[in-house]
Amino acid sequence: FLMQGQVSVRYTGLGALAILSWGTLGALGALSASLPPHLVLTFCFAITAGMGWTICRLTGRTPARLLDRRVALFAALLAAYHIVYLEAFHHADPIPVSLINYLWPACLIILGNLFFRLHSGWPGYLGAALGFIGVGVLIGKDGLALQSSEVFGYGLALSGALLWALFSNLRRHERFDAIASLTTICLGASLLCGVWWAATDAHWPDLARRDIGVILALGVGPAGGAFFLWDLGMRQGHAALLGVLGYSAPVLSTLLMLGLGMGTPGWEIFVAIAFITLGGAVVQLGART
């Protein structure tokens, strides 16, 4: 019993590391805003695919086929989500972009109820409403003073939340080994981003050491390696505890960005955090009931 408890704690810790990693996604995304997002993600997903391939080799797994239709769909959704999310940082303030992205649990419930027979009940809709109220408080403070570029950036961030919710709903019904499939999905996403970059913006930017560090951090962390940590934590750790800890991600992300000088602290930011985090908790209640 002690050994089982120790194993559970270990894997729960891995899941918690994934949450900490996702808390850096907003800051790293903002730091990469000077680079073409397609190129950044080409490298990030290649790093992730290499990590997954190594895990598969060490554990005897066989990666999924690249030409499988479901793998291709998941690769396209994964690439599209990260592209619109990183692109949003080119058009709007980083903290609102990051917080709008955390509407994905609300979007997951709405899409799940409409198209995937999730049946979350009233807590799901209440949680979704709380999340949208939080975003309304955050961006509504500027009223009609919002620039068209900001509106476009916020729209991209919301599109990212919808794409991640769609990806997550579809992955709930996937029965193939998660690590084996994610390895190939990330390889496909890397190829898609690379082709997109070559077709639309094929100039090679001057990469400073900081840029290389940001790309490596994204690939090893929130845009890659965190997928595997989360999968191990959810499968073999304390899933319920990880679900609760997950609501700290928007708080961690915002505090880190404020600490790095990426925004000015204001009451609307903390009200938005409270509503979005509370909304995520209520959404989880709906998913359990």
122 pLDDT more than 80 = no
Residue 2's Cβ-count burial label (10 Å; 0-12, 13-18, 19+) is exposed
DSSP code, position 246: G
Quick: pLDDT tens for 100-112.
988 887 787 788 8
Residue boundaries of the structural domains of the chain: 2-288
Average pLDDT over residues 165-176: 81
Please answer whether residues 33 and 215 qualify as being in contact, where contact means their C-beta atoms are separated by less than 8 angstroms: no
3 pLDDT more than 60 = no
Residue 1, pLDDT score: 37
Q: Among 80-94, 224-238, 265-279, which stretch is predicted with the lowest mean pLDDT? A: 224-238
- Encoded tokens for 55: 């895990």
Query: Could you give the C-alpha distances from 7 to 3, 90, 235, in angstroms and in order?
Result: 6, 43, 12
Please answer whether residues 241 and 12 qualify as being in contact, where contact means their C-beta atoms are separated by less than 8 angstroms: yes
- Encoded tokens for 137: 């408080």
Q: Which amino acid is at 67?
A: L
Average pLDDT over residues 179-206: 90
Q: Alpha-carbon dihedral of residues 181, 103, 254, 172, nearest 10 degrees?
A: -20
144 pLDDT more than 70 = no
DSSP code, position 33: T
